[in-house]
Structure 1
């Protein structure tokens, strides 16, 4: 088979116009919401159906074969002319948190279709499939990644989860007009080349560095822990300070330890985001405090060591005040390193185009975490102005969208050259 030629640099006018259209499409999709006046689009909702319909129409115009799989994921496929060619998947998610911005997840799917449009029929030695995952945020059922779990074949244990209205995932799938018995066909086909997810950074690192793009090195692992400090309620006006067993004082000392350690260890993120104080009266020494701990790092062994250090600190803070302590790890997600080959091609694509770019760790979770169980993954971040995400003022710069299109197209061509070389 003769090696095809892969043009790498479309005219700036082409990518600039397409970048503007990408932003227009994101703005148009933001109109599909369950809460007028803000953006809220949960799993298998009517607005999700409307978004799928809009993007399916674009995919059809591009000549892609379109389907909605049994989990509600949008799948749009461009078959390679090469026999038994592997598949490169492009995508992100189409659901949102309540009162969301217009770009988290959605931008990556729209950019996927825009990259197919940029190819303009150029033959590739691999198939391309754009995936709009139906549920990443976990809003409706309290568990994230339903769509991507179906994509890798691990969704079955979640089918009997119920939402606040009592409807199970299985029932929601049926109500949407899909068949849960077809979930095996939602799995990615054999011969996967990899998965590329383009996504806003959702943080301030790229903006602080003055760079529009970033290549992700890893998605941080995460522990979520619930701690309970148990003291004794007492009268605030009659109990001497040296005779108190103040659960909140112990918890407060622990919170300071979390901040101190996270500031000391490079790359460690520690957050106590929830405190429940009982009895919660102004004139009563607190008897019981429940608090959360969210701990993240790109290296699992370092995160595990930090967690042990903090649990030891919690014990010390409790013992010093005569307060009992219990803790429970509620969830644990190991770090997800990006594939070295795909990550290297992203760096090379950006460098060849003269695009300044950073390498950074993603502190947030993404569908790539789940997809990595099945195939190599890579992520390209776009700068988030103000570091805002999960917020109505979430934004992205047109110049960064254009840069992502150019880097994404060069990446596709470099990958094609490797595949035929």
Structure 2
């Protein structure tokens, strides 16, 4: 890049195209297979950091890997300890996910800061952009470790959880080049933190139906996750009479249908049984043990509680009838979180400033804001995604919408006023 290019403001349309190019580049840091697979503390996670580092440096940010696996870029004011506004999202993906879930919220605010730098704009407060290490909770049975670390809420039991290969989170962080014993020291000071903003694809169809490029989020849904273990008795598949079997997989199959039935008949409650493991998983052996996950989501705690109780009662009935042992363990829980009124108002003004209509809408997905709200006021800007599709290789946005959202963030930062 020439010196003149570095100092020349981006032309209309250039920001959106560059954003797409950067996200395409990041998507190549993926495990083999369809879409994007980039898990926490993986080689793919390691591979994407130099890209993010380069983007940060071009925006005038100093990049650094922290003790919790977050990659953080700070402007000079933030480095000097001045009051700071935080932006960011997560770098990790689901298995065979899309290019934009998470990484969009890393690349876009960095690009917005680079554009402001080119225009000679100096913000009167510090800025840091965070590429959180783990939001999806795919590798380890915990999530939001990075954002919880900034909020000062990581506990020793979270670091002790293990992945399917038996590697603990603490061991994975250490191997990744982090010092997990220093996690308490990276907690931000609430008095010095102005707020937190995440930019994210909507992961739903509302903006596309409204024909809007962006939307202002009002709140993030409440989420809880459970690990269910069902134990029966292994036996020879050819010699054990059917009435005498205690087949854990057959019981689990009934339970999956029972969970779906509860979800189908409970208003404002959604969920999924997304993962299932069978032991001994042999072609001619009656399954002795099945472990599966149950995730429940609702903006209202009492609805999740009622759904959880109904799910457990249904599973208990199956276990009793089939002579199986049932255990259900809560592995994650977060209540719904409201976005700050002053950030929503500021985002709406920024949208108006750049000529973008922006209605308010609720997020049915969980995000790092669920943890960051313990530190500071949070806000969220949604970007329209094709057919509302997410967690899928065909996840897509347009360069035009990326451009619009980047300019909204630029306007937001320039007129940012805390109440």
For the criterion TM > 0.5, the same-fold answer is yes
Give the structure-1-normalised TM-score.
0.78
Paired residues for 1:41-190 under 5 Å: 41-80=38-77, 85-119=82-116, 120-157=119-156, 158-189=158-189, 190=191
Aligned residue number for residue 203 of structure 2: 202
Paired residues for 1:283-322 under 5 Å: 293-311=294-312
Between the aligned partners of 2:265 and 2:343, the Cα distance in structure 1 is: 32
Between the aligned partners of 1:384 and 1:221, the Cα distance in structure 2 is: 22
Aligned 8 A contact 1:215 1:357 in 2: yes
Q: Are the structure 2 counterparts of residues 184 and 14 from structure 1 closer, same or farther at C-alpha, using a change threshold of 3 Å?
A: farther
More off after superposition, 306-315 vs 164-173: 306-315
Between the aligned partners of 1:205 and 1:333, the Cα distance in structure 2 is: 26
Between the aligned partners of 2:263 and 2:9, the Cα distance in structure 1 is: 43
- 1:251-293 superposed Cα distances (whole Å, 9 cap, x missing partner): 888767755664565532143456789999xxxxx99998754
User: Shift in Å at residue 248 of structure 1?
Assistant: 9.5
Between the aligned partners of 2:315 and 2:95, the Cα distance in structure 1 is: 33
Between the aligned partners of 2:194 and 2:413, the Cα distance in structure 1 is: 12
User: Shift in Å at residue 199 of structure 1?
Assistant: 0.9
Q: CA RMSD in A?
A: 4.1
Aligned residue number for residue 411 of structure 1: 412
Q: Verify: 1:346 aligned to 2:343, yes or no.
A: no
Aligned residue number for residue 192 of structure 2: 191
Between the aligned partners of 1:350 and 1:266, the Cα distance in structure 2 is: 33
SS in 2 for 1:346: helix
Give the structure-2-normalised TM-score.
0.78
Q: Are the structure 2 counterparts of residues 227 and 40 from structure 1 closer, same or farther at C-alpha, using a change threshold of 3 Å?
A: closer
Q: Are the structure 2 counterparts of residues 60 and 122 from structure 1 closer, same or farther at C-alpha, using a change threshold of 3 Å?
A: same
Aligned 8 A contact 2:64 2:71 in 1: yes
The number of equivalent residue pairs is 403
Gapped regions of structure 1 (runs ≥ 5): 1-10, 281-285
User: Shift in Å at residue 297 of structure 1?
Assistant: 0.7
Bigger-Rg structure (1/2): 1
More off after superposition, 152-161 vs 115-124: 152-161
- 1:373-397 superposed Cα distances (whole Å, 9 cap, x missing partner): 2111111111221332222222112
Between the aligned partners of 1:381 and 1:140, the Cα distance in structure 2 is: 26
Between the aligned partners of 1:145 and 1:199, the Cα distance in structure 2 is: 16
User: Shift in Å at residue 44 of structure 1?
Assistant: 2.5
Q: Are the structure 2 counterparts of residues 38 and 263 from structure 1 closer, same or farther at C-alpha, using a change threshold of 3 Å?
A: closer
Between the aligned partners of 2:230 and 2:161, the Cα distance in structure 1 is: 27
Aligned 8 A contact 1:229 1:251 in 2: no
Aligned residue number for residue 25 of structure 1: 22
Between the aligned partners of 2:163 and 2:280, the Cα distance in structure 1 is: 30
Between the aligned partners of 2:162 and 2:327, the Cα distance in structure 1 is: 27
Q: Are the structure 2 counterparts of residues 122 and 289 from structure 1 closer, same or farther at C-alpha, using a change threshold of 3 Å?
A: closer
Q: Are the structure 2 counterparts of residues 326 and 415 from structure 1 closer, same or farther at C-alpha, using a change threshold of 3 Å?
A: same
User: Shift in Å at residue 31 of structure 1?
Assistant: 1.6
Aligned residue number for residue 34 of structure 1: 31
Aligned 8 A contact 2:98 2:394 in 1: yes
